[in-house]
Amino acid sequence: MRPIRAKSGTNQEGASAHNRRVMIDALRVNGQLSRADLARATALTKQAVSNIIEDLERDGLVASLAAVRKGRGQPSTPYRLVPEGAFAIGLQIDRHVTRTIAVDLVGAVLARGEANLPAGGPDEGTETILSLIDKTRRELAEVAPQSKDRLVGLGVAMPGPFGIDTDPADPWMMALWQRFPLAETLALGTGLDVRLQNDSAAAATAEKMVGAAHGLDQAICIYVGYGIGAGLILDGELYRGANGNAGEIGMILSRPENGTEDQRAPLEHRASIASLCKILDLDPAGPELYRHLDDVAAASDARIAAWITEAAYELRRAVQILETIFDPQTIVLCGGMPPGLARRLIDAIHPLLPSIAERRMRSAPRLQLGFTDPWAVAIGAAAEPISRTFDPSFSAILKTRSVGSA
């Protein structure tokens, strides 16, 4: 009997919202499952599973397949998610560019768009963003007409940290955007439910839904882009922190090997795409930046080698610290960097420092490579409304119980 990965449901009265999410999550992680499989994996009664499956079928989220006979018993009917059951749009806002992605319920990308952001912050850039979202919605409607009635939200990702005092002239920060009522403005302009998260959290959401962290409940995703951050997947849910700034490891003050106290600088000043662009004298807003970085990474360029050595030194320590604090099943290195550069960087990080994560019975590597794609954050931003609507969460139980007790 094959193992099935699923969270436990609850047979307590008034927890149907959580149980629906548990069922959808089990089908997303495992693919096709029968009612008996779902009951066994989720610890729900067969009657509860049957009731929920029927509801999900009526809602167009689940479909049955042809019956399958296993051994001498009665044939069983497997069920799968219906990709067209829900859709979402993701928006990435970065220093110089904005991207949109439209996905279906299982994370397949159906439409995408990109535009350069004009200088001047949100006062100049909001119109560009709203136009790009509208264009993506129209393209999505062309390939999936039902999306007009099944669009569950807009996920937005941008660099953090949020809610702190920063110098508007600091090129590492996006102070004007971070102080702007972005979610409210986009909700008003699109009519959609809008949620904002930092780019590393979005990257972790992408890895959880369709990437290297798929099916894992404890994973850390180190995102290397213009800056650096860590997305924290704890107990199957994305941990955001009190102010949405959990995992901002790029702000940690580091010190280079054999350096002195006055040489301390934020981690992302030494191990990010922005720091590499500074070394190579490249414009981070250049349209051919990633292709150029890939070409340089493949060549014997001493500047690239020096950056990789220093970045690997910093990230090796970061991996060990994150393992010690969070005890994850795995750490995923991902980001908006070219594949060739990412592979050289992860090779240089090895061997890893001694850690509590060194166990003989590991089912996943301590460190592995995830998405290396400038679109990864937009994909994660699009996955967030799907995850928020359909993934199991403690808040879903609380919300249902509060309604039932009113």
pLDDT score of 262 more than 60? yes
Q: For the domain with range 86-204+379-390, which CATH number is right: 3.20.20.105, 3.30.420.40, 3.20.20.140, 3.30.70.20?
A: 3.30.420.40
* pLDDT-wise least confident of 83-87, 128-132, 220-224, 301-305: 301-305
On the question of pLDDT at 257 being above 70, the answer is no
Ranges for all domains in the chain classified under CATH 1.10.10.10: 16-81
Question: What is 212-373's CATH number?
Answer: 3.30.420.40
Alpha carbon 108 to its chain centroid, in Å, reads 14
Is 70 exceeded by the pLDDT of residue 153? Answer: yes
Give the chain's mean pLDDT.
87
Please state the rounded mean pLDDT for residues 201-209: 91
Tally: H helices and E strands in the chain: 13, 15
Phi, psi values for residue 307, rounded to 5°: -65, -45
User: Residue 282 pLDDT > 90, yes or no?
Assistant: no
Mean of the pLDDT values across residues 110-129?
Answer: 92
Say what the alpha-carbon torsion angle 280, 283, 288, 292 is, to the nearest 10 degrees.
Answer: 0
Q: Where in the chain is the domain with CATH 3.30.420.40?
A: 86-204+379-390, 212-373
Place of tokens 């089990």: 26
List, for residues 340-378, the tens digit of each pLDDT value.
899 999 999 999 999 999 988 888 999 999 998 888 899
Is the per-residue pLDDT at 284 higher than 90? no
Query: What is the structure's pLDDT at 406?
Result: 28
Query: Is the pLDDT reported for residue 168 higher than 80?
Result: no
CA atoms within 13 A on the CB side of 297: 21
Q: List pLDDT tens digits, range 52-77.
A: 999 999 999 999 998 887 766 678 89
Percentage of the chain beyond pLDDT 90 is 54
Reply yes or no on whether the pLDDT at 16 is more than 60.
Answer: yes
Given a cut of 80, whether residue 401 has pLDDT beyond it is no
Q: Is the pLDDT of residue 6 over 80?
A: no
Residue 394 has pLDDT above 70, yes or no: no
Q: For 16-81, give the CATH class.
A: mainly alpha
